[in-house]
Amino acid sequence: MAEAARPQILHQQMTDLAAFPHAALVVEARYADFLVPDKVRPASPARLARFLAELAALHPRVPLVYAGSRRLAAAWTAAFL
């Protein structure tokens, strides 16, 4: 989520993804990980939660999938394709 520091970039990427008939953003972490200050430092958990909610609300055609790990993200992506 390095792009969270530059929200306009990720919003543009989400807009680009929405142009595809089937798209998703697969995150290699659990949603709860973004709410733990030690895991998201120096970012604020509240700011990240607001940003993730904004992504979901403004880009409804691109679901956010919190896979929990790289292995599960790869498995989900393989099944999605």
Q: What's the 3-state SS for 39-69? A: HHCCCCHHHHHHHHHHHHHHCCCCCEEECCC
d(CA 22, CA 33): 26
Helix (H) or strand (E) holding 25: strand 25-27
Helix (H) or strand (E) holding 26: strand 25-27
Residue 43: the pLDDT is 86
Residue 34: the pLDDT is 92
User: Domains of the chain: which residue ranges?
Assistant: 23-80
Residue 5: the pLDDT is 57
Residue 4: the pLDDT is 54
Residue 41: the pLDDT is 87
Q: What are the mean pLDDT values of the chain's consecutive 10-residue runs (81 residues total)?
A: 69 94 94 92 90 94 96 95 83
Which pTM value belongs to this model?
A: 0.82
